[in-house]
Amino acid sequence: MTDFWLVCYDVRDDKRRNKLAKLIEQRCQRVQYSVFECPVEGEILCELIERRWLKVLKLSEDSLRAYPLSGTAKKQAKIYGSPPLYEPPDYLIL
Amino acid sequence: MTTLYLTEPGTYVRYRNHTLDIKKEDRHHTCRLSELDLVVVLPGVQLTDGAIAQLLDRGIETLFLRQDGRFRGRLQGHFHSNPSIRLAQYRCVETTFGLALAQKLVSGKIRNQRTLLQQRNRATQGRIGELSEAIDAIASYSSRLQQLATPLTRDELMGIEGICAKNYYQALRHWFPTQWNFSGRNRRPPLDPINALLSWGYGVLLARVFAAAVQAGLDPYLGFFHAIEPYRPNLVLDLMEEFRPVIVDRAAIAIVKAELLDPLDFEPSPDGAGIWLGQTAKKLFLGQLQRQFSSRVLYSPQNRRLTLAQILLEQARSLGRCLCESNLDYEPFLLK
């Protein structure tokens, strides 16, 4: 499975949405209000979604989607405006 | 994966939602722990108990350096180590086998030193006499070191290493423009900016090789060439020999060549005797060193391209295997 994913959600309730966003941000980079780019292996992402993220949601009202971005798909992605496609930095000197 | 360098005094690092939250005055950064594999901490940085606990529990290598770049220590969590590697190491210390290994390690270093001078010699089309003389001198010792059938004593080995180092550092000045006043190696304290860079770089390299040695299950303090001098991580000094020219010397050459540094980026050491890197120089040079560590080259034992940081670890593991199997298959990593 790919190790780069695009995750997005639609959550009605503010409280549930904030809770979910906080969980997703533990492993993924927020690139739009409800869109995240995730440098995470597929198996691990599935575990995270099924064991943690879904617990916050009410699937009768909310939805969550994860799309794999393989190497070529990632390269072909069209991105306008910031931020650029997420890539963990090789190094950070602070 | 990300390497995080915390260089600024007054930086405050805490743990928050699986992320390191890094604050300095009004500047604010975050770094996701799942993407982090190495943290290098300079003096004056505060880590909260929560941050330290996370670094330990997740096994994220955390190295602490002193103000002058020397290795101060590292975080060591609960770790799984294979005692048989250490036992094999103890058995080999001060044996003929250990000395033969030492000979290989020194041979790797001087061959890489020679390669670095050769690159300069080619670029200057052999017009600098001192360069070609140093290259020839090192070559003659290098062939002596590669004859393992007649092993050298430790004194002979130290003699050869010393002569080669002298020749090498004197000739190395032809890599640097004359305004940097580099004429050879001096240290404790370094007396000119290039020596300050080299000392700083060797400190960072030592810290990273120390981590690699521990990860490979070796005892950092029991060496073969540097042997069993007290109070020194002798094995780390052994293992890093072949990487000094490859990583640190090349980083110093590259940063000077890129004209990123100004003599004003250096400052007198607190006792006034030597020269230290200022805050900007530290950051710029850490960046250059990091680019060396992450550069990919062919690692011939595995016939694939690895970063130099990965090769450090592979070389430590390979040494561990040689000790366990009592064979002399250790091959120094050679610059192409």
Question: Where in chain B are the domains?
Answer: 2-75, 83-325
**Which residue's structure tokens are 């090192």?**
B138
Percentage, residues of chain B above pLDDT 70: 100
pTM of the model: 0.87
* B163-183 pLDDT, tens digit each: 999 999 999 998 998 888 888
Distance CA B220, CA B119 (A): 33
Backbone angle region of A3, left / alpha / beta, with phi > 0 → left and psi within -120 to 50 → alpha: alpha
**What residue type is A27 in one-letter code?**
R
pLDDT at A6 (0 to 100): 94
Q: Which of B10-19, B253-262, B268-277 has the lowest mean pLDDT?
A: B268-277
pLDDT at B214 (0 to 100): 92
| Confidence grade of residue B69 (pLDDT, cut at 50, 70, 90) | confident
| Confidence grade of residue A1 (pLDDT, cut at 50, 70, 90) | low
Query: Region A29-42: what's the mean pLDDT?
Result: 93
pLDDT at B13 (0 to 100): 97
Question: Where in chain A are the domains?
Answer: 4-70
How do beta strands B36-41 and B2-6 pair? parallel
Give the CATH class of B83-325.
Answer: mainly alpha
Of B19, B24, B31, the CB nearest to A92: B31
Q: Which of A20-24, B110-114, B152-156, B305-309 has the lowest mean pLDDT?
A: B152-156
Query: Region B134-151: what's the mean pLDDT?
Result: 84
B288 touches chain A (CB under 8 A): no
A10 in a labelled binding site: yes
Percentage, residues of chain B above pLDDT 90: 62
Q: Which CATH architecture has domain B2-75?
A: Ribosomal Protein L15; Chain: K; domain 2 (3.100)
Measured on CA atoms in the order B230, B231, B233, B238, is the torsion positive or negative? negative
Give the CATH class of A4-70.
Answer: alpha beta
Omega before residue B189 within 30° of 0, cis: yes
* B185-212 pLDDT, tens digit each: 888 889 899 999 999 999 999 999 999 9
H/E stretch holding B46 reads strand B46-47
Distance CA A78, CA A13 (A): 31
B269 touches chain A (CB under 8 A): no
* A7-31 pLDDT, tens digit each: 999 999 999 999 999 999 999 999 9
End-to-end CA distance of chain A: 34
Q: Which residues of A touch B19 (CB under 8 A)?
A: 25-26
| Confidence grade of residue B109 (pLDDT, cut at 50, 70, 90) | very high
Q: What is the ipTM of this complex?
A: 0.80
Query: Region B245-269: what's the mean pLDDT?
Result: 91
